[in-house]
Amino acid sequence: MRILRITLYLLIAACFVACKNDPKTKKPEKITIDVPTFNADMAYRFIEKQVSFGPRVPNTPSHDSCAAWLVRELHELGARVVIQHADLKAYTGEILKAQNIIAVYNPDAKRRVMLAAHWDTRHLAEWDADPERRMEPILGADDGGSGVGVLLEIARNLDVHKIENLGVDIVLFDAEDCGQPQGGGGFPEQKDTWCLGSQHWSKNKHEANYRPMYGILLDMVGSKNARFSREGVSMKYASGIMNKVWTEGQNAGYSSYFDFAKTREIIDDHLYVNKLAKIPMIDIVNRPVTSQTGFGKYWHTHDDQLDIIDKKTLTAVGQTVLNVLYKESAGAF
């Protein structure tokens, strides 16, 4: 009996020591990760440059000149650049000569994150206060310019501060903003008229086996007092990523921008990337609390110009995404 009791004690003690040495029960050590600093002045300059071309509407010289500049710029920023040309049919019947521009960093890395934004701008200003000017194309400093501006500054950081064990693909979608306006715009109602570039890419990825862990879409990420809520499509397909990015944004000190409130689903490039390409992708998109359209007051109006861009907003988004990328590369999530 006594021997049995001693054996039992010994067993318990042995187990205790074993548990103590089990690495799984150890508290994780604090790792410090070097994350580069996002430069909002640079991002702003990239927006300024895009706006200097005028509206970037498919089938216009401004559009094509801007594409050529984007390709040159990304190449200079050390990326491998792939251009995907496509003829896409708009709701008007017009064939749009579109270009999706893809910048690849660390092509050999297995673990990858995809970042995206649309680079085209809207051919209409259907929400403008002045009915006379509703048929004119918009400058799209925020809607088009800001997402690309932030991504180019991220590209610059990836070039200067080489990222380990992680591939990053920056995908600039064309023909996002060519959608049919409410009421049809004089044409019969059609489905899936927005996001033609991302629809095409999702069915014809630049690499057949392309499979990033997840994607982050930036859309209207530059206006003053922007508010990024947890949008419905992002929550449906990628709530884990959403919560990770929003938590990172809040921890980095940007809680006035990253709001955990849920808002209704929207049609944006991430919808097709989720549905057709089956890549979980979230959308960081400005959804003000009080707004008739669900977007900013400047949305699809001639107020969408450089003067609505606020560097603080660019920093909140750009720094948050950089933190996510460099933490991901260090395996810190």
CB burial readout 228-237, b (16+ within 10 A) else e: bbbbebbbeb
Under the binding rule (CB under 5 A), the answer on residue 269 touching Zn ion is: no
Amino acid, res. 119: W
State the nearest-atom distance from the C-beta of 138 to Zn ion, in Å: 8
By beta carbon distance, the residue nearest ligand AHN is 267
Cα dihedral 62, 118, 266, 209 in deg (nearest 10): 140
C-alpha radius of gyration, the chain, whole number: 23
Under the binding rule (CB under 6 A), the answer on residue 268 touching ligand AHN is: yes
Q: Which residue in 174, 214, 215, 170 sits closest to 80, CA to CA?
A: 170
| Structure-block tokens of residue 270 | 């991430």
User: Which residue stretch of 31-39, 86-94, 128-136, 260-268 sits at the interface with ligand AHN (rule: CB under 6 A)?
Assistant: 260-268
Under the binding rule (CB under 6 A), the answer on residue 219 touching ligand AHN is: yes
Provide the β-strand partners of residue 97.
87
Judged by CB under 6 A, the number of residues near ligand AHN is 7
Residue 272 CA to residue 82 CA, distance in Å, equals 20
Q: Which option in ligand AHN, Zn ion, none does residue 79 bind, with CB closer than 5 to 8 A by kind?
A: none
Q: Which option in ligand AHN, Zn ion, none does residue 73 bind, with CB closer than 5 to 8 A by kind?
A: none
State the nearest-atom distance from the C-beta of 177 to Zn ion, in Å: 4
Which CB atom, from 101 or from 266, has the smaller least distance to ligand AHN? 266
Amino acid, res. 203: K
Under the binding rule (CB under 6 A), the answer on residue 194 touching ligand AHN is: yes
State the nearest-atom distance from the C-beta of 287 to Zn ion, in Å: 13
101 CB-near residues (< 8 Å, 6+ apart): 67, 70, 71, 74, 81, 82, 83, 84, 119, 171, 172, 174
**What's the full length of the chain, in residues?**
333
State the nearest-atom distance from the C-beta of 221 to ligand AHN, in Å: 11
User: Which residue stretch of 6-14, 82-90, 266-274, 316-324 sits at the interface with ligand AHN (rule: CB under 6 A)?
Assistant: 266-274
Residue 32 CA to residue 48 CA, distance in Å, equals 35
Q: Which option in Zn ion, ligand AHN, none does residue 231 bind, with CB closer than 5 to 8 A by kind?
A: none
Under the binding rule (CB under 6 A), the answer on residue 177 touching ligand AHN is: yes
Contact string (CB under 6 A) for ligand AHN, positions 9-28, x = contact = --------------------
Q: Where are the beta strands (DSSP E) in the chain?
A: 80-89, 95-105, 112-118, 167-173, 214-219, 228-231, 258-263, 281-285
Q: Which option in Zn ion, ligand AHN, none does residue 266 bind, with CB closer than 5 to 8 A by kind?
A: ligand AHN
Judged by CB under 5 A, the number of residues near Zn ion is 3
**Sole binder of ligand AHN in the list 120, 143, 153, 174 (CB under 6 A):** 143
**Sole binder of Zn ion in the list 120, 177, 304, 328 (CB under 5 A):** 177
| Site for ligand AHN, rule CB under 6 A | 143, 177, 194, 219, 266-268
